[in-house]
Amino acid sequence: MTAASLPVTSPAGEPILTRAGWAVKNTWVLCRRSIARIAREPEQLSDVTIQPVIFVLLFTYVFGSAIHLPGGGSYHQYLISGMFGMAMAGTAPGTAVGLTADMSTGLIDRFRSLPIARSAVLAGRTLADLATQLLGIVVLTGTGLAVGWRIHNGIGDALAALALSLLFAFAMTWAGACAGMLLRSPESAQALGFVVFLPLSFVSNAFVPTQGMPGWLRDFANWNPISALAAACRRLFGGSPAINIHAWPMQHPELAVLAWSAALIAVFAPTAVYLYRRKVLR
């Protein structure tokens, strides 16, 4: 390996950058590629565009009418923050599907033969998925406003909720990247999303208050990171009566989101890169 201070001359007379500089540039090129893909196949976006709208409408007008909130308050105000929790967690299966698709077409093999930073393929994908999720947030906010959801606190709190959401989404993309490295096909990644991600979203406070759940399930739901993000968004957007739950993440939801995100990134980012490298060496 050449040290950063010793750039190699190439026949094309490449620009001289440090290794870290190239890693960033590779990541950027790959990230743009993932986004350019979406521009050509907008149906790939249905996960972040159509799905949240359907969930909001379903829960606001169908299930919501039967859900009683212990502290009172309107259900749609409660729901949209829960949807933030579900949607941000939903980046994980998206990332896994994208990576398995690239592996099944052999594109990852192509990348492996190129002189690019090991982390760039994964980082490019996770950043692109994060950008996609930003669009998801716009759609979700728009749908929320349409059904009567409002931001009650200041813009600062709302931006904090947004920042926490994106941080959590980014953490979840790395969990998805790990899954993508372990799975064989986009179909199995999709199935994993259905088997893991969907139940995980429902066993949380995203759609219904946890008080009515059986004890063991309630503990799980209260410690579920999706619940933490939903609770944090509820506090920051305001307009939802406080629900007093003893579990620590429900007492300090913002801190809980930070802690969960840090933990997820610390575990899954290096693991994903390790799994990618192992695939390369195999």
**Could you give the C-alpha distances from 280 to 76, 97, 103, 273, in angstroms and in order?**
47, 19, 12, 10
150 vs 161: CA distance, rounded Å: 14
Give me the least distance between CB of 109 and another protein, in Å please: 5
6 vs 127: CA distance, rounded Å: 29
Give me the least distance between CB of 33 and another protein, in Å please: 5
- Using CB under 8 A as the binding rule, whether residue 156 contacts another protein is answered as no
The nearer residue to another protein, 65 or 113, going by C-beta atoms, is 113
- Using CB under 8 A as the binding rule, whether residue 41 contacts another protein is answered as yes
- Among 6, 40, 68, 72, the residue binding another protein under the rule CB under 8 A is 40
Per DSSP, the three-state class of 213 is: coil
The nearer residue to another protein, 115 or 214, going by C-beta atoms, is 115
The nearer residue to another protein, 117 or 208, going by C-beta atoms, is 117
Contact 133, 166 (CB under 8 A): yes
86 vs 201: CA distance, rounded Å: 6
Site for another protein in 94-133 (CB under 8 A): 102, 105-107, 109-111, 113-116
Closest CA to 127 of 54, 30, 39: 30
Site stretch for another protein (CB under 8 A), options 3-11, 52-60, 76-84, 206-214: 3-11
- Among 5, 10, 65, 244, the residue binding another protein under the rule CB under 8 A is 10
Give me the least distance between CB of 35 and another protein, in Å please: 11
Closest CA to 150 of 55, 238, 60: 238
